[in-house]
């Protein structure tokens, strides 16, 4: 053994020998543990996906032959799987049962709202699958375009169109010219659903066709138009050599063959023939503007004089809101005190500003703004009748924003 062998052999008595060996073993253990975690995660994800597919197939099997309660339970379970079971849920919109159709429509809308936070590529794939499912549901309905189920499917297509156009306008797809081809194809198919092309023409594929067949038929639904060549020359070609000699505009005085009017898109004056019939319309009498306009209105009662309706003297009240309103100027007075039911007085106060409905009427309005305004007014009153109206409206309210507002008002009133 020479000195070179001592240089290659590690010193067994070194204090760093065990530390280096321990670090090497720790690194190898960490790598093995990381690989095991990756394999287990992949296996768990694949198993979860396969389990979802199995559950969706189990719930979708013989779905049309089930009763209403079984269909409702199955739809609620399919709604938890989102995009995996979206096809069966959309096809259930065309179900004959109104309850099943309405629940399927609501679940599909919830899925559309939850897709806004996903990556663009994932959203595009899910929207394409959703459009194909809607087209299959439209084919099941056939020509029943006036049915409520058909209108629900058209509303789903309208929601898709609005979402796609909003993304394009906001720059997510960089304009219509720069948008992705799949997005544009999905947009065209959604527009066809809104227009009712599938249910009216019946040119789509059969319900048993695949998604690719549905997409191909959707792109071929527009009729082809053959273009025929012009059968007569253009106006400038018929001018001959006289027009060919022009080199500037206006032409010289010696030029012949002046151009004539070929087509006009504006209305021009022309002389009438002797046998043309002229229809005259009597003009309204001209108003006299030589003096200022007059306004005829009932004279205001003089302070201290008796009002004709109440017999009490008129008083000056401080401007503002008062708990009591004089009977002569009550905003809800509709009949005069004379006893004649035909003598109807004009509505004053708040109703004169253009709002002749009560909060109870606005609470049933289809406009969210009117319902929110009615809830605010009823919350300010705080009486039992207002609380009863709010509780009654909460049972049938479908807008989550308005329902949340009503719950807050009722909770504050309970305190």
Q: Summarize the confidence of residues 211-226 as an average pLDDT.
A: 44
* Cβ neighbours for 232, distance < 8 A, ≥ 6 positions apart: none
Q: What are phi and psi of 169, to 5 degrees?
A: -65, -35
Closest among 82, 92, 85, 154 to 114, alpha carbons compared = 82
Q: Which of 126 and 256 is assigned the larger pLDDT?
A: 126
Residue 281 has what pLDDT? 56
Cα–Cα distance measured from residue 180 to residue 184, given in angstroms and rounded to the nearest whole number:
6
Q: Summarize the confidence of residues 3-28 as an average pLDDT.
A: 66
pLDDT(38) > 60: yes
pLDDT in tens, 41-87: 888 888 877 877 777 777 777 777 778 888 888 888 877 777 777 88
* Model confidence band, residue 194 (pLDDT cutoffs 50, 70, 90): confident
pLDDT(235) > 70: no
Residue 176 has what pLDDT? 46
Residue 326 has what pLDDT? 45
* Model confidence band, residue 173 (pLDDT cutoffs 50, 70, 90): very low
Residue 330 has what pLDDT? 41
How large a percentage of the chain has pLDDT more than 70? 54
Q: Summarize the confidence of residues 6-20 as an average pLDDT.
A: 61
Whole-model pTM: value is 0.39
Q: What is the mean pLDDT of the chain?
A: 69
pLDDT in tens, 282-333: 556 666 655 555 554 555 555 455 555 555 655 655 555 554 444 444 444 4
Q: Which of 337 and 146 is assigned the larger pLDDT?
A: 146
Closest among 365, 359, 368, 366 to 387, alpha carbons compared = 359
* Model confidence band, residue 35 (pLDDT cutoffs 50, 70, 90): very high
pLDDT(26) > 80: yes
Q: Which of 314 and 157 is assigned the larger pLDDT?
A: 157
Residue 312 has what pLDDT? 62
pLDDT(153) > 50: yes
How large a percentage of the chain has pLDDT more than 90? 1
pLDDT(342) > 50: no
Closest among 158, 157, 160, 179 to 168, alpha carbons compared = 179
Residue 350 has what pLDDT? 41
Cα–Cα distance measured from residue 231 to residue 407, given in angstroms and rounded to the nearest whole number:
73
């Amino acid at each position: 053994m020479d000195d070179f062998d001592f240089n290659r052999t590690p010193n067994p008595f070194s204090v760093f020998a065990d530390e280096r060996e321990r670090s090497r073993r720790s690194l190898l253990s960490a790598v093995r543990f990381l690989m095991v975690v990756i394999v287990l995660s992949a296996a768990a994800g694949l198993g979860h996906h396969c389990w979802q597919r199995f559950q969706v197939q189990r719930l979708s099997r013989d779905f049309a032959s089930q009763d209403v309660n079984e269909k409702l339970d199955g739809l609620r379970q399919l709604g938890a799987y989102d995009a995996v079971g979206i096809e069966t849920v959309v096809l259930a919109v065309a179900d004959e049962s109104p309850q099943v159709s309405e629940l399927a429509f609501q679940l599909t809308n919830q899925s559309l709202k939850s897709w806004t936070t996903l990556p663009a590529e994932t959203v595009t794939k899910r929207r394409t699958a959703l459009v194909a499912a809607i087209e299959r549901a439209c084919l099941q309905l056939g020509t029943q375009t006036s049915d409520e189920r058909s209108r629900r499917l058209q509303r789903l297509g309208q929601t898709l169109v609005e979402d796609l156009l909003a993304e394009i306008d906001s720059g997510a797809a960089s304009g219509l010219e720069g948008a992705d081809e799949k997005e544009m194809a999905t947009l065209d198919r959604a527009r066809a659903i809104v227009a009712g092309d599938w249910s009216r023409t019946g040119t789509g594929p059969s319900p048993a066709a695949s998604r690719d067949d549905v997409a191909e038929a959707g792109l071929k639904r527009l009729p082809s138009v053959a273009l025929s060549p012009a059968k007569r020359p253009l106006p400038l070609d018929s001018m001959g050599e006289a027009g060919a000699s022009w080199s500037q505009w206006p032409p010289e005085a010696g030029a012949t063959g002046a151009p004539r009017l070929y087509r006009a898109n504006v209305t021009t004056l022309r002389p009438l023939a002797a046998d043309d019939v002229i229809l005259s319309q009597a003009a309204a009498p001209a108003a006299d503007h030589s003096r200022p306009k007059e306004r005829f209105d009932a004279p205001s009662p003089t302070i201290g004089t008796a009002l004709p309706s109440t017999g009490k003297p008129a008083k000056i009240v401080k401007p503002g809101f008062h708990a009591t309103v004089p009977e002569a100027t009550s905003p809800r007075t509709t009949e005069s005190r004379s006893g004649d039911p035909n003598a109807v007085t004009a509505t004053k106060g708040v109703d004169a500003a253009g709002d002749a409905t009560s909060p109870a009427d606005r609470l049933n309005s289809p406009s969210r703004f009117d319902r929110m305004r009615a809830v605010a007014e009823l919350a300010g009153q705080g009486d039992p009748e207002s609380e009863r109206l709010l509780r009654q409206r909460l049972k049938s309210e479908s807008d989550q924003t308005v329902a949340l507002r009503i719950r807050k008002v009722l909770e504050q009133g309970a305190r």
